[in-house]
Amino acid sequence: MCFKRQMANPTAVMGRIPAITDDDVEYSGGGASLADMVLGFFEEKEAYESCSNDDDDDNDDGNSGIVEEQNAFWESQHNLLQATLRRSSSLETRIRNDTKQALRDSQSVGPNCICVKPLVGGVCRKCLVRDVSDRLRNAGYNSALCKSKWRSSPCIPSAGEHTYIDVVDAARADKPAVRVVIELDFRAEFEMARGSPDYNRLIERLPRVYIGKAERLRSLIKILCSAAKMCMKENKMHMGPWRKHEYMQAKWFGTCERTVPVPLSMAGFSDRQPKLKSSMLTFDLLEKLPGLHCGVVEVV
């Protein structure tokens, strides 16, 4: 049987990020906000087992038992997620507020995109991530771009890479350094084109923008991958390796290269210019007068 890979949010696949509102990055610390970060550990629930189908009565009892077990699983997942989303440290709250302001500023003036062919009708993810990281550094944070890379293995069939932002709070006399991960399109990483209603309701509780400690992100990934596994079983579908726990962990916890690139506002003009092309209208002129400085006209 051939199984098709379930695609993530089309906007994320095309490299564009929809406009981000305050609700997407609103992480209030006191209430039961569904956009707060993840805290705590949990034990993954075991997937249900198929029951015997000896006769119609046994089949009815078996189906009833499976439904009850499924309902109990999803209820526990929702409770786990809701409980963990209520908590937040003062450091995370401060970084969230400043990240929200950085996104407001970036969207109000538009990121200084240095791509040769920026996307039409959307925001270039690469430049938006870089722009937000620049603004956080200007606000006084030790912010950088992180590119995680992973190799293929028995658990991860294909190699890959993923770019995100992190902020490192320096170590103090009584506390070690704290690393906060910022993922600008977090929800899209777990969306499914054919997700079950229970799975989709769980994903809708996630903030679009994740801003939280690295260890809390590990716990959140475990919750969501467990839910994805159950969703695939309910739909009687094969779970692709790109949705498994090992693969999702590698996106944010693979071998990481942390860099601080030149701010977009200081990037050279040449970085934004496409290569000039010769044409039949300008070839002879440029050859005979190499010192002539003029724009090149391309024949279409």
| 209 and 292 both lie in a single domain | no
Domain count, the chain: 2
Query: Is 203 a domain residue?
Result: yes
Q: Which residues make Cβ contacts (< 8 Å) with residue 120, sequence separation at least 6?
A: none
- For residue 45, the model assigns a pLDDT of 33
What is the domain extent for residue 293? 271-300
Query: Is 258 a domain residue?
Result: yes
| 169 and 298 both lie in a single domain | no
| 262 and 276 both lie in a single domain | no
| 19 and 155 both lie in a single domain | yes
Query: Is 263 a domain residue?
Result: yes
| 279 and 151 both lie in a single domain | no
| 240 and 257 both lie in a single domain | yes
Q: Which residues make Cβ contacts (< 8 Å) with residue 70, sequence separation at least 6?
A: 48, 198, 230, 234
Tens digit of pLDDT per residue, the chain (300 long)?
A: 444 444 444 444 445 555 666 666 644 333 333 333 333 333 333 333 333 344 455 555 557 778 888 899 999 988 888 877 777 899 999 999 999 999 998 888 765 677 766 655 556 788 889 999 999 999 999 999 999 998 888 878 788 899 999 999 987 778 889 999 999 999 999 999 889 999 999 999 998 999 999 988 988 999 999 999 999 999 888 888 888 999 999 999 988 899 998 776 665 444 444 444 444 444 444 454 555 555 554 544
Query: Is 79 a domain residue?
Result: yes
Token pair of 256 as six digits: 């990481």
φ, ψ for residue 241, nearest 5 deg = -60, -25
Q: CB–CB of 150/42 below 8 Å?
A: no
Residues in the chain: 300
| 24 and 60 both lie in a single domain | yes
Q: Which of 135, 160, 165, 163 is nearest to 149 (CA)?
A: 160
Query: Is 5 a domain residue?
Result: no
Please give the Cα distance from 260 to 268 (Å, whole number).
Answer: 16
- For residue 75, the model assigns a pLDDT of 92
Query: Is 34 a domain residue?
Result: yes
| 251 and 286 both lie in a single domain | no
Tell me the pTM.
0.68
| 201 and 287 both lie in a single domain | no
